[in-house]
Amino acid sequence: MQFDKQQERLKQSDATLRLGPQSLLAKVLVVVLGAALLVVGFAVSLVILAVVLGAGIVIGGFFWWKTRDLRKRLRGQAMREQQMHEQQVYKRPGQRTGNGEIIEDVEFNDEAQQK
């Protein structure tokens, strides 16, 4: 019996939430408001995107500016290490370098050439 009373209450509350048939003006108003909300949402998303991109550019530029001295020092150090490596590789005893090629000093024997 109590179950029937609860069902009856639910039916009554459901009936009060239902709207009657909508007029043409109400339907047009819903469509216009929906379209306006879409346009406003799109505009807000564009503004947020512009703010995020602008902040990214500013932060990236600041980071680039602050690290320029470090990049310069690292480039110089890499060049010095490369030069030291080249000197160690190409400057062996009995060798000369010319235009990046290794030229070995070889003594020729006339006897070795005649064979």
With respect to residue 35, please indicate whether it lies within any of the assigned structural domains.
no
pTM value > 0.75? no
Closest residue by Cα to residue 104 from 96, 113, 114: 96
Read off the pLDDT of residues 54-82 as tens digits, 9 standing for 90 and up.
999 999 999 999 999 999 999 999 999 99
Residue carrying the six token digits 């009856």? 8
Give the range of the structural domain holding residue 80, as residue numbers without chain letter.
Answer: 48-104
Instruction: Please give the tally of structural domains in the chain.
Output: 1
With respect to residue 11, please indicate whether it lies within any of the assigned structural domains.
no
With respect to residue 27, please indicate whether it lies within any of the assigned structural domains.
no
With respect to residue 113, please indicate whether it lies within any of the assigned structural domains.
no
pLDDT of residue 38 exceeding 90, the answer is yes
With respect to residue 54, please indicate whether it lies within any of the assigned structural domains.
yes
